[in-house]
Amino acid sequence: MLSLPDLLARTCRHLDGAPMDDAAIAAQLSVLPQWRHDGGFLCRTYRFGDYYDTLAFVNALAFIIHREDHHPDMLIGYNRCELRFNTHSVGGISENDFICAAKADALFAQAPGAAA
């Protein structure tokens, strides 16, 4: 299991092979407690004060995930953004998903209009 500082210091890399098993996913989720494992995806919904704050977060996140070359599914609403990560090349959840989840959380912690 990687610590939060370890996740934030890493960058995504191309992965082949098997996805993480349920036990490894559960252990790693203890570092990112607001995330959940749902149907083969790592998921979290972020809440904001309004649409502008939501889009500001999405645009800043787009830069991060483009740099990591690891792109989530996003559902964007007036005051929320749901992220769903998985790693297509392994057919499930990988370390890359947790790296991007940690970076999304770090961005959210600094976001104006972020709601708990």
Contact 85, 42 (CB under 8 A): yes
Domain assignment of residue 86, given as a range:
36-115
Q: What is this structure's pTM? A: 0.94
Give the tens place of pLDDT for each residue, 60-98: 999 999 999 999 999 999 999 999 999 999 999 999 999
Of 103, 67, 86, nearest to 15 (Cα)?
86
Identify whether 105 is part of a domain.
Answer: yes
Q: Is the pLDDT of residue 23 over 70?
A: yes
CATH number at residue 69: 3.30.1360.20
Contact 19, 93 (CB under 8 A): yes
Identify whether 28 is part of a domain.
Answer: no
Instruction: State residue 83 phi and psi, 5-degree precision.
Output: -110, 140
Identify whether 7 is part of a domain.
Answer: no
Identify whether 25 is part of a domain.
Answer: no
pLDDT at 112: 75
Task: Give the number of domains in the chain.
Answer: 1
